[in-house]
Amino acid sequence: MVKPRITITSDDRLEDIDSPFKVIAGPGAGKTHWLVEHIKNVLLNSTKLSNISKISCITYTTVGAEEVLNRLKDNQDKVDVSTIHSFLYSNIVKPYIHLLKDESGRKLVNIYEMDGHIENVATKGKIYKWQREVNNAGFIRDQKKIKRCLENIDWVLDNGTFILKPRNEYLRRIGRYSIRLEDLHIYKKISWDDGIIHHEDVLYFSYRILKEFPIILEHLSAKYPYMFLDEFQDTNPIQSEIIKWLGDTGTIVGVIGDPAQSIYSFQGASRSDFINFFLPNLNEYVIGNNRRSGERIVEILNHLRQGDTIAQRSTHNQSNNPIYYFECENEIAQTLSDFHNLRRELGMGHDYCILTRNNDSVKRLQNIEVTDVWTSLNEADSDRERLLKSLITAYKLVEDGRNELAVKEVIRSLKTDKNNILKSPFQGSQFIDSLSKRSLAVDLVEFLMSEIKQSFNFTLLVFYQILYEFLKAKGYNLIKITRGNIKTLSEQISIQELIENLILPEEKSTDIRTIHKAKGAEFESVLLYLDDVEEIENIIHPEINSENDDTRIYYVALSRARDLLCLAGPPLTKVNKEKISEFNIIVKKKSHNN
């Protein structure tokens, strides 16, 4: 029997801490505050925690994990805070992957070479090897389309059976032929034989390990008698199934989320899994208030959310600024200037963010030329591209205030074989142990922070030579760039171009970013930039419960604002101007500098 929903505030504490629960909380409801206080409440009052057991807290992003850890302060030793991939890899895949065998009885993955999980990048070498094994090179020739298809594949759980296919089915079609689904498994096998597992494989392996060896569930449940999962509206069906298994085994499971903020369907997320999530004796709670945004902003959020069960009230923010729409065509710089002038007029001197739908629009707003430089580098030399991408990523992570993550990124880039010998682009038989690897990673991060600022306008070839000399002084030898496509390319590419065209999966301090990267953040002032006049339709005629994410994406964007919310986009039709005036949005005419 389904229990009735209970309305609570973010300051309420649950008396019943030993029943599973689901919390539905809209934007600005204070759910992170509630979650942290609930964890503290469990730590204080639980009789299920022992000296060796812990609470598991799962967040959607590493930025979210850092935020929870910061708020827990002195209570961190009894709580494991991580992303779902990190949790599953550490507790299931890494210790138990050796149990999985193929049809011939061989280990499914080369455990001696396995070192974490990475993004799926189909290198030229991997594609060549794959085509040779599946024997399709004679009729499927477009390498770029093959690469796009292989990098888009994911595991789909269908009635207990796994299907490996591209998230976008049309990518299988290349010219007059289609890549066979069974051939995609060969691509995975090639990677696994090299000890390489991709992010999407972590869920697949975890499911299989627990399904085939259910005794591991009992061990996990004893280790983690409580598991709380934030942002569960973006859960994956495979993840949902694993969490239910843990709940059935004895772990007290709590899921927290908001169906109206589910925006990752392109990655296989299923909002219906959160809506329909159920465990025996589950309690369901709703936090209805909005502590973040001013009254006008909450009004438009409620308009977007019409047809949903939550209608928020603004409770903590007394600001009542109008919402503005800046009409602009190609004069992006002028629109940004108008936004900042308005902020000054209204005395908004604190944090702000400019949000837009995709990465190309971010580059345009930053006035950066978009190039395919990293793909070109990967095609020329995938080993060097991997190392350089990790180093530039580490540099950007430090710039984003995430130093420890930067060091971990560099450690991951120093690939070794089972004998701890460094792999290409290092040369010879150079041994490095884990302690030396961390020490070298710290040195490399310090080197990057001082050197890149000086090398910003240098070519990659010049920077690579400086890196070569630095590593040589530390006792490690890179393979020099002396000839071939990599030499030609590295003479043409600047370090600035590499930095500007590298996109971090998460950011927490950039002023211009995609809407997806602003998830969980808040700002005093927000400008939402719309590329297309049609995008305003998602705000005027919202469909918050649609299978399509569009309305929910703009809902997430608008709900980031505390005090000032602005939109910018192409000039509106007369009808749309009248429509948005009904929501008290003031249209600012195009301004021109004389």
Binding residues: 25-32
Residue 240's alpha-carbon distances to 134, 222, 548, in angstroms, are 34, 19, 21
Task: Give 33-81 as a 3 state SS string.
Answer: HHHHHHHHHHHHHCCCCCCCCCEEEEECCHHHHHHHHHHHHHHHHHEEE
CB 63 within 8 A of CB 30: no
DSSP state of 589: P
Tokens (6 digits) for 363: 């580059």
DSSP 142-153: -HHHHHHHHHTE
What is the bridge-based pairing of β-strands 153-158 and 161-166? antiparallel
Tokens (6 digits) for 138: 């004679």
Residue 299's alpha-carbon distances to 246, 321, 416, 483, 522, in angstroms, are 40, 12, 55, 62, 17
DSSP-assigned beta bridge partners for residue 527:
354, 566
Instruction: Give the type of residue at 408.
Output: K
Which amino acids are annotated as binding site for ATP, given as ranges? 25-32
280: preceding bond cis by omega (within 30 degrees): no
Helices 373-380 and 382-399: angle between axes, nearest 10 degrees: 140
CB 402 within 8 A of CB 507: no
- Residue 19, judged by CB atoms within 10 A of its CB (0-12, 13-18, 19+), counts as middle
CA angle (367, 369, 372) in 5-degree steps: 145
What is the bridge-based pairing of β-strands 173-174 and 177-178? antiparallel
Q: d(Cα 88, Cα 216) in Å, to the nearest integer?
A: 12
Distance of CA 450 to the CA centre of its chain: 28
Conformation bin of residue 28: beta by default, left when phi > 0, alpha when psi is -120 to 50: left
Residue 335's alpha-carbon distances to 346, 384, 537, in angstroms, are 17, 40, 21
**Maximum distance among all Cα pairs of the chain, rounded to whole angstroms:** 76
Distance of CA 94 to the CA centre of its chain: 22
CB 314 within 8 A of CB 290: yes
CB 19 within 8 A of CB 284: no
Instruction: Give the type of residue at 376.
Output: S
Q: Which residue has the tokens 């922070």?
A: 449
Neighbours of 235 (CB within 10 A): 28
Tokens (6 digits) for 558: 């608008």
- Residue 155, judged by CB atoms within 10 A of its CB (0-12, 13-18, 19+), counts as buried
**Dihedral angle of Cα 423, 425, 430, 432, to the nearest 10 degrees:** -60
